[in-house]
Amino acid sequence: MTPKIEEFLVRHRPETPCLLFDLDILTGNYNRLRAALPSAEIYYAVKANPSAPVLQTLADLGSKFDAASLAEIDRCLSVGADPADIAFGNTIKKQNDIAAAYGLGVRAFTFDSAQELEKLSIAAPGAKVVARLFVDNDGARWPLGAKFGCSAEAACDLLIAAASMGLQPHGIAFHVGSQQTDLARWDIAIGQAAMIFTELRMRGIELVLLNIGGGIPVPYGQDEPDEADVTHSIQV
C-alpha cells in the first residue's frame, strides 16, 4: 500500500471491497519501462485497466495504446489520445468495428488469418497490418495458449497477400504469455520474427514494426525474474 492510498482510506473510508489505484505508481512504472527500453515505443494494453484516469495519465505521458475492442478505442479517444497512436490489436474483429475504428482514424490493425485480412482490405483500405505470430508460451504463469497467432510461414504468405490487397504490410506481433518467467522465450520469439523480416525483405517487403507484446512479470513474490533482467535480455 502506498502512503497516498493509506491516506485516502483513512480520510474517505470507502465501502469495501474497493479497488484503489495510485496514479503516481503508474507514472513511475511507465517512466521506468521507457528508460529500460529506450528504442521502443510503449503501447498500453487497455484491457489491463480501462478507467479514464489511468488512460488520461498515460496519454499525458505520451503513451500509445493497444485496444482490443471499439469500446476501448472510444475510451482512449475520449481522453484525447491521437487515433494514430492507437492500434486495434485484437486479431478477431467484426467488420463493422474495423470500419468504425478506421472512420475514427485508427490505421494499425493486427491479424492472424486470411479471413481477417479480407475484412481489413474491405473496411480499412490502405491500413497498416501487423501479423501475429504464434510463439511458445512455456514458462508463462498465464499462457495465452494457441488462441492467437499463426505460423511463420502463414505470416509471410499473409503479409505478401496484404500488399496485393492494397494494405500496408507493417510488422510482426507476438505475445510470450503473461507473467513469463523464462527469459529465453523473448529471444526465441524475436529470432523467429527476424527470420520473417529477412524473408520478406528478399521479396521486396520492408517491415518496420516488431510488437513484442507483454509478459514482463509483476513481482508477486513467487521468484519472478526482475523486470530489469527481462528488458535487458530483450535487447541483447
Q: Which stretches of the chain bind ligand PLP, using CB under 6 A?
A: 45, 47-48, 66, 89, 175, 178, 213-216
C-alpha pair distances (Å), 169 with each of 25, 37, 66, 196, 215: 36, 24, 18, 12, 25
Of 147, 144, 91, 90, nearest to 114 (Cα)? 91
Residue closer to ligand PLP by CB (options 154, 160) is: 154
Nearer to ligand PLP, 124 or 216 (CB): 216
Q: What is the DSSP letter of 208?
A: -
Nearer of residues 169 and 213 to ligand PLP, judged by Cβ:
213
Distance separating alpha carbons of residues 20 and 31, to the nearest angstrom:
21
* Minimum gap (Å) between residue 89 Cβ and ligand PLP: 4
Least distance to ligand PLP, CB of residue 165, Å: 23
Q: Do you find a cis peptide bond into 17, omega within 30 degrees of 0?
A: yes
Quote the least distance from Cβ 63 to ligand PLP, whole Å: 13
Answer for the pair 177, 137: CB distance below 8 angstroms, yes or no. Answer: yes
Place of cell 511458445: 136
| Residue with Cβ nearer ligand PLP (170 or 175) | 175
Find the residue with minimal CB distance to ligand PLP: 214
- Residue keyed to cell 489505484: 21
Nearer to ligand PLP, 128 or 175 (CB): 175
For residue 43, list its beta bridge partners.
64
Q: CB of residue 140 vs ligand PLP: minimum separation in angstroms?
A: 8
Least distance (Å) from ligand PLP to the CB of residue 179?
Answer: 7
Which residues fall within 8 angstroms of residue 70, CB to CB, at 6 or more apart? 97, 100, 101
Contact in structure between 138 and 182 (CB atoms under 8 Å): yes
C-beta of 47: minimal distance to ligand PLP in Å? 6
Q: Kindly tell me which of 50 and 89 has the beta carbon lying closer to ligand PLP.
A: 89
First-to-last alpha carbon distance for the chain, in angstroms, is: 34
